[in-house]
Amino acid sequence: MQSFVCELSVGRVVFGAGALAHLPREAERLGANRALVLSTPGHADLARSIVEMLGSRAAGTFCGAAMHVPVATAREALRTARTLSADCLIAIGGGSTTGLAKAVALESDAPIVAIPTTYAGSEMTPIYGLTEGGEKRTARDPRVLPRTVIYDPELTTTLPVGLSVTSGLNAIAHAAEGLYARDANPFTALLAEEGLRAIAGALPAIHRAPRDGAARSQALYGAWLCGIVLGNAGMALHHKLCHLLGGTFNLPHSETHAAVLPHAIAYNAPVVPEALERMVRALGRPDPAAALYDLARDHEAPYSLQALGFAEGDIDRAAELAVAHPYWNPRPIELEAIRALLRNAWEGKRPG
């Protein structure tokens, strides 16, 4: 067996249909008396309903969360938190809102209660990211790990099918890369395989019946596991490329994951046979890269960077940036190979 070090970073999880009703109890448990509720503009009504639920424990709302957490937005949210003397941050929404809460927590030390409405997985990690000047920087800090996560599948039933699939593929990316991460270990490998199996099985069911409670629960369960993997086993080429494409070229987060993932898996497949074997078992297909491509293409998710507005003329620049500032990766990150990967992802070419 491989040598490994395993130091888990996980918070308290409350999971189940209707679990949102436990929020007042969870806020009280953290000693929150002035909780600031964070959301995107699209979830402003939901944020206000959270304030009503909390009653006197709520300090107010900040409904300006934005994709890739712009530094200016984080500063504005921090000013709001300080003005309201917030002693707790409640993030309801997807990765953008959780990411904003992390940016505020980093400067305020306020505990976070995360209430995911997508399958992003950020709520289970001590990883945060900020975008400024066309560059997205990521780092780890234990202070930003949410203290409590409330997973309520009922909050995901209105998530559009296309976004459900792209968000699910985003979560799958965490598990897939976790299987061959530099700091992978047997525990995260088990979680990754089970997370892959759960989400890959749930997404077709959600596509057929978007309000299927069992499928939504299974997907959220898988997202939880994949998030733990992301928080405890690192990242590689796929996440590097997605951060680059999002931060520098402003491509949408989960959709970019959906389009890039099959090609990143195909790039690394020749040098990670054990990880590939686990993916084969989880997906029930002999070629995981092609299976993930088909999962996106056949279920209303984008499968080309061209469809996301990425310009063909930017392929060379993106490849050069990826090689100039590489992550660790099991296969060397070489300019011509990365350029070919991005070209295939831009065209939406099926791997294999």
- Residue 20, Cα to own-chain centre: how many angstroms? 21
Radius of gyration of the chain (CA): 19
Q: Give the right CATH number for 12-156 from 1.10.10.10, 3.30.200.20, 3.40.50.1970, 3.40.50.300.
A: 3.40.50.1970
Per-residue model confidence as pLDDT tens for the chain (352 residues): 667 777 776 789 999 999 999 999 999 999 999 999 999 999 999 999 999 999 999 999 999 999 989 999 999 999 999 999 999 999 999 999 999 999 999 999 999 999 999 998 999 999 999 999 888 888 999 999 999 999 999 999 999 999 999 999 999 999 999 999 998 889 999 999 999 999 999 999 999 999 999 999 999 999 999 999 999 887 899 999 999 999 899 999 899 999 999 999 999 999 999 999 999 999 999 999 999 999 999 998 999 999 999 999 999 999 999 999 878 999 999 999 999 999 999 999 999 8
Q: How many CB atoms lie within 10 A of CB 137?
A: 12
Q: How many angstroms separate the Cα of 145 from the Cα of each of 120, 121, 155, 229, 231?
A: 14, 12, 22, 14, 9
Q: Using a pLDDT cut of 90, give the percent of the chain over it.
A: 89
**CA–CA dist 94, 109 (Å, integer):** 21
Q: Which CATH topology does 161-347 take?
A: Dehydroquinate synthase-like, alpha domain (1.20.1090)
Query: What is the tens place of the pLDDT at every residue in 163-210?
Result: 999 999 999 999 999 999 998 889 999 999 999 999 999 999 999 999
Q: Residue 326, Cβ neighbours under 10 Å: how many?
A: 15
Q: Assess contact for 231 and 127: CB atoms under 8 A.
A: yes
pLDDT digits (tens, 9 = 90+) for 261-309: 999 999 999 999 999 999 999 999 999 999 999 999 999 899 999 999 9
Q: How wide is the angle at C-alpha 86 spanned by C-alphas 83 and 89, nearest 5°?
A: 130
**Global pTM value:** 0.93
Burial group, residue 183, by CB count within 10 angstroms (0-12, 13-18, 19+): middle
Domain boundaries, the chain: 12-156, 161-347
Cα–Cα dist 267/39, whole Å: 36
CB 87 within 8 A of CB 57: no
Tokens at residue 125, please? 């990690």
